[in-house]
Amino acid sequence: MAKEKQTAAVIRQECIATDIYSMWIETSIADVSHPGQFISVYPKDRSKLLPRPISICETAPGRLRIVYRIAGSGTAEFAGYKSGDPIEILGPLGNGFPLDGQDALLIGGGIGIPPMLSLAKALPGKKTVVAGYKSELFLTEDFAGHADLWIATEDGSSGTKGTVLNAIRENHLTGSVIYACGPMPMLKAVKEYAIEQGIPAWISLEERMACGVGACLGCVVKTTGKDEHSNVNNARICKDGPVFDAKEVDLT
């Protein structure tokens, strides 16, 4: 199935932490999506032109789950949707994570944790998840049975005090491949760590987007080599990403 924009239905929604919402959506997009891909969600408020890109947290036949944070009035609108409400979505978008990793180290920071769930469920072999929070935890129980979970909190209220990197070093966590999604400072630190350890790393990036399908060139990231599509050192996060080989993107 090609990408399509459709009006899907909300199955159920709950608030799982302060400003963090989990929504299950009934949609055929679920059956053709891949871990690390995202959907565009369109506010019904027509003063808002652009879709909100939201990562897919997990899927089941005919349904998918998004876990997102209220970041403005668009996502606040989504948070008000109830069971049975229509929701305008487009997807699946982006490339997703390669699934060839054995003994994988999955690193998620904040609202970058949700896509790690579908990845943990899809990857073969041993999986270690390191989740970094400010303080309040979410999704921790969902990883049970799919991966070993290690937690870092900025205030030290759970797990290691500090960042995901603190948790990795303190607990001597390792793997043969790293997958990461989270805020830019975390991704920079993960890239440095991966290079230092000589481990390949796949990182998922975000940027302000408009079209979500690769046409507008709004959401580019600098690449270390010349990108084939742009013919300059810019790749499209929505289309060529959001997942990149950490060595191929310039995060400075």
d(CA 28, CA 15): 24
Which of 45, 141 has the CB closer to other proteins? 45
Closest CA to 246 of 107, 89, 40: 107
Which of 12, 226 has the CB closer to other proteins? 226
d(CA 214, CA 208): 13
Q: Which stretch binds other proteins (CB under 8 A): 96-104, 125-133, 189-197, 216-224?
A: 216-224
| Closest approach of other proteins to the CB of residue 208, in Å | 4
Q: Which stretch binds other proteins (CB under 8 A): 97-105, 118-126, 148-156, 227-235?
A: 227-235
34 belongs to the binding site for other proteins (CB under 8 A): no
| Closest approach of other proteins to the CB of residue 215, in Å | 4
Which of 184, 195 has the CB closer to other proteins? 184
Using CB under 8 A, pick the residue from 209, 235, 246, 249 that binds other proteins.
209
- Applying CB under 8 A, the residues found at the interface with other proteins are 2-5, 42, 46-51, 90, 207-221, 229-234, 239
